[in-house]
């Protein structure tokens, strides 16, 4: 199973996701870190991603070549992450046939009804639980 973790700015959410995936799933998953900038990619690589790539073309190219895409909900919103996530990046993620597991952060002016305002670690745990269910069902 090939999983893309998309993050920007400092890559902290992506790093936390990858660390949790490695704890819960181990090396069963092939993880590619896709950063909107080099700092985010480097941070995710340090946390255990198998490989990484940076920038608009890397995200657009790889989004259609993975089974699952994970990240904050902003990865489907053009110009989120303080403008780091370009419209082309958001389109590539949305257009991908990969399953998307998104963390509901309210920082990009998107609020999902029915989602409790929980601390980030709770949302990361929940997203990895969903990932484990998908892996176990295959």
- Res 129 pLDDT > 80: yes
Q: Of 110 and 98, which is predicted with more confidence? A: 98
Mean pLDDT in residue range 20-44? 96
pLDDT bracket for residue 14 (50, 70, 90):
very high
Backbone angles phi, psi at 2, to 5 degrees: -105, 125
Assigned fold of 2-137: Rossmann fold (3.40.50)
pTM above 0.85, yes or no: yes
Mean pLDDT in residue range 75-100? 96
Describe the crossing of helices 120-137 and 12-25 by its angle, rounded to 10 degrees.
Answer: 40
Mean pLDDT in residue range 59-82? 96
Q: What is the pLDDT of residues 47-63, one digit of tens each?
A: 999 999 999 999 999 99
Mean pLDDT in residue range 31-40? 97
Q: What is the pLDDT of residues 93-107, one digit of tens each?
A: 999 999 999 999 877
């Amino acid at each position: 199973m090939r999983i893309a973790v998309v993050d920007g700015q400092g890559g902290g959410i992506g790093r936390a996701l990858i660390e949790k995936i490695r704890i819960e799933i181990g090396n069963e998953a092939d993880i590619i870190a896709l950063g909107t900038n080099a700092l985010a990619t480097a941070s995710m690589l340090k946390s255990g991603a198998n490989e990484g790539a940076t920038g608009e073309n890397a995200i657009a190219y790889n989004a259609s070549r993975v089974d699952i895409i994970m990240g904050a909900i902003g990865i489907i919103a053009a110009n989120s992450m303080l403008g780091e996530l370009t419209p082309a990046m958001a389109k590539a993620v949305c257009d991908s046939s990969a399953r998307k597991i998104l963390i509901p952060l309210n920082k990009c002016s998107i609020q999902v009804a029915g989602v409790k305002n929980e601390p980030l670690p709770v949302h990361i745990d929940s997203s990895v639980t969903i990932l484990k269910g998908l892996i176990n069902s295959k």
